[in-house]
Structure 1
Amino acid sequence: MESAIDEHLQCPRSLSRRVHDDYQPPFPMFAGRSGDDLTQVVMAYLGVQFREENRQDAVRAMQHMVSTFNLSDGPGNHDISFHTDNQGYGNFIVVGYWRDPANYCRWLRQPEIEQWWSSDERLLDNVGYFREIIAPRAEQFETLYAFKEDLPGVGAVMGSISGEIQEHGYWGSVRDRIPASQNDWLQPDEELRIISGDPDAGGRVVVQGHDNITLIRSGQDWMEADADERQLYFTEMLPPLQAGMDFLRDEGHMLGCYSNRFVRNVDIDGNLLDIAYDIGFWRSLDRLERWAESHPTHLRIFTTFFRVVTGLQKLRLYHEVSVSDARFQTFEYINCHPMTGMLRDAQR
């Protein structure tokens, strides 16, 4: 049994774990591994927002974003998703992962990208755009997988996978898997603030984040699942999951959830795939934990997962959770409605 925290990230604790040293988890789970050469990653969420009548314009914009990943210093892994938000807008999100922030910076500064984003033409397009980018240090994120091959998300750029880990299957295990939590409560220090633009007027808006904003990406992949597992997912797992995600999307601001999007993966033409995941930005890990441990919407998700997990063969479940420093965050919006992402809760 391994610790979820890799050896080179372990240090003497000043804050104790939630379980004792001889705790035995109820089923096997695994964590992504990387060498000590990985010190920081970049997670870039690049969005296109549109009304249905402008869908083809949005598809072309999404395809352009994906094409820029083929330029030098592009991401080591990416995927594309779609969701309809609670204001009725469609949203494509292209997500890229870099294992070296220097590569990301070189990619970002290429004229094909920098000039395209800053061009006044973006203000005249029939769609809106956003980019929500965080760059957690190696000690600021954790991963958890029920499988060991073809890791999605940040796991794809980490390079390896652990053996069975100990820190899972109990409340507080996410925090216990984040290396920084050995000596840091990971509390927020400020509030979200609008630093340029006006969300109600449209145009370009920039939001300043704060330390320890928490991002969770929690996914389900049923592409290889057989008929029985698909039935299990759609009839038992998805209904409480969908209800919980809708609650956080519509009412999560009361609990400290800045933004929640339950998305479906798509191909380059926007066709739906049999993969879904949640993208949740929270004020703090503490706020995420409170919802997970006590709110009925998550308790239903958790108990359903525990009931079915040991019988899963091809249905792939995973998540990644990170905190990040304010200086390594970017939240920018172009012609997006004022309920988009961080715009809703940012102080004017």
Structure 2
Amino acid sequence: MTKNSSAPPQHTPRFPAFTGVFPSGCTGYVMGQYGVQSASGAIHERAAAEMRERFQSANRPDVVNRGSFTDSSGLTNTMWFAYWLEPARHRSWVAEGKHSSPVQGAGWWWEEALIPVESTETLHTHQQEQYPTSGLAEILDQESTELHDYWGSARDRMRKASVPPTRGAALGVHDSTVDVVVEGGICLIRTAQDWSGSSVFRERFLQKVQPVMKKGVTYLGEHPETGCICTREISEQDMDGHPLDRACTVAWFVSLDHLLSWTHHHETHLRIYRSFFSMLQEEQSPLDIALWHEVSVLPPGSVRARYVGCHPTTGLLPLGLSPHE
């Protein structure tokens, strides 16, 4: 355990877990989210196809994942997660105009974070060679960790978890374009479920656990007093837009403390916790659904975003409406 670990004395995890190992010399990486927003239909599909082509250049990301979600205004958002382990290659991609050229016929947006390796952590129920999943696991080695299965373990898995909470955001508005610069720090989580290889727990998970998870995400999206700025409940797809047996939730929080407070204490998350372990107790077989997450605390100046022709509650735009504590 770490010197200041939150783990109970003589803690022994109930199950194995694994965490990502960044390459030697890698001190930071870029994680970007890129989306098109409109009513679904032919125009939306053309806009999505146009966005997809932007990830085909020589400076393309090391990992690209695709998904879709319906936002709070009822609009369809097709989006991509893109990861660059070399920030310089991301800068070259930006210089090519890949994230600033207009998208025809739809709103579009991007949110980019330069993430310090010392301020990020990942946790997986399965090793990548055993159960391939999306996200950073596609490009990182993994090692087992004892820092899990107790409240506060996410903070213990970070080398540096102390970042000041955000105070809001500076907005630059020009016609239908809004540029956002986050003031202070901010917390980002991508948490995911993959049941593509499941035969034992699949139905139990989809019928008993997933609905409880969705209620928790909905609660966060409707209650900003939790410190949650934005949630996205994403159905993952292949690069051609075909649905996969994967889902993830992305959320921006004012701070890591706000995220941990919800996970540790709020009934909506405790119900998720209880439903999951109740599912495990119904069957003695090993878990065959892969669960994983990536959590980062982002220092001041590391997050920028742009929204073009998007509704005013998209993504980080609410940060510019009023200060956050």
Q: CA deviation at 1:308?
A: 3.5
After TM superposition, list the pairs within 5 Å mapping 1:166-315 onto structure 2. 166-181=146-161, 185-188=162-165, 190-197=166-173, 203-226=176-199, 228-251=200-223, 253-309=224-280, 311-315=285-289
After TM superposition, list the pairs within 5 Å mapping 1:90-239 onto structure 2. 90-111=76-97, 113=98, 117-119=100-102, 122=103, 125-149=104-128, 150-158=132-140, 160-163=141-144, 165-181=145-161, 185-188=162-165, 190-197=166-173, 203-226=176-199, 228-239=200-211
The one-letter code sitting in structure 2 at the alignment partner of 1:213 is I
CA distance in 2, matches of 1:211, 1:136: 14
The one-letter code sitting in structure 1 at the alignment partner of 2:84 is W
The one-letter code sitting in structure 1 at the alignment partner of 2:94 is L
* Alignment check: 8 A CA contact 1:218 1:279 kept: yes
Identical-pair percentage: 28
Helix, strand or coil for the counterpart of 1:231?
helix
Instruction: Select between 300-309 and 125-134 the one with higher mean Cα deviation.
Output: 300-309
User: 1:154 and 1:211, CA in 2 relative to 1: closer, same or farther beyond 3 A?
Assistant: farther
Number of equivalences:
316
* Alignment check: 8 A CA contact 1:196 1:206 kept: yes
CA distance in 2, matches of 1:170, 1:176: 10
Q: Which residue of 2 aligns with 1:318?
A: 292
The one-letter code sitting in structure 2 at the alignment partner of 1:186 is V
Instruction: Select between 238-247 and 269-278 the one with higher mean Cα deviation.
Output: 269-278
Q: Which has the higher helix share?
A: 1
User: 1:232 and 1:44, CA in 2 relative to 1: closer, same or farther beyond 3 A?
Assistant: same
TM-score normalised by the chain length of structure 1: 0.85
User: 1:151 and 1:225, CA in 2 relative to 1: closer, same or farther beyond 3 A?
Assistant: closer
TM-score normalised by the chain length of structure 2: 0.91
Helix, strand or coil for the counterpart of 1:209?
strand
RMSD of equivalent CA atoms? 2.0
CA distance in 2, matches of 1:312, 1:258: 36
* Alignment check: 8 A CA contact 2:209 2:275 kept: yes
Helix, strand or coil for the counterpart of 1:135?
strand
Structure 1 residue ranges without an equivalent (≥5): 6-12
Q: Which residue of 2 aligns with 1:8?
A: none
* Alignment check: 8 A CA contact 2:31 2:114 kept: yes
CA distance in 2, matches of 1:339, 1:179: 33
CA distance in 2, matches of 1:20, 1:221: 30
CA distance in 2, matches of 1:256, 1:312: 35
From 314, 317, 320, give the equivalent of 1:340.
314
* Alignment check: 8 A CA contact 1:229 1:312 kept: no
1:17 aligns with 2:5: yes
Q: Which has the higher strand share?
A: 2
User: 1:21 and 1:110, CA in 2 relative to 1: closer, same or farther beyond 3 A?
Assistant: farther
* Alignment check: 8 A CA contact 1:259 1:280 kept: yes
Q: Which residue of 2 aligns with 1:10?
A: none
CA distance in 2, matches of 1:304, 1:326: 37
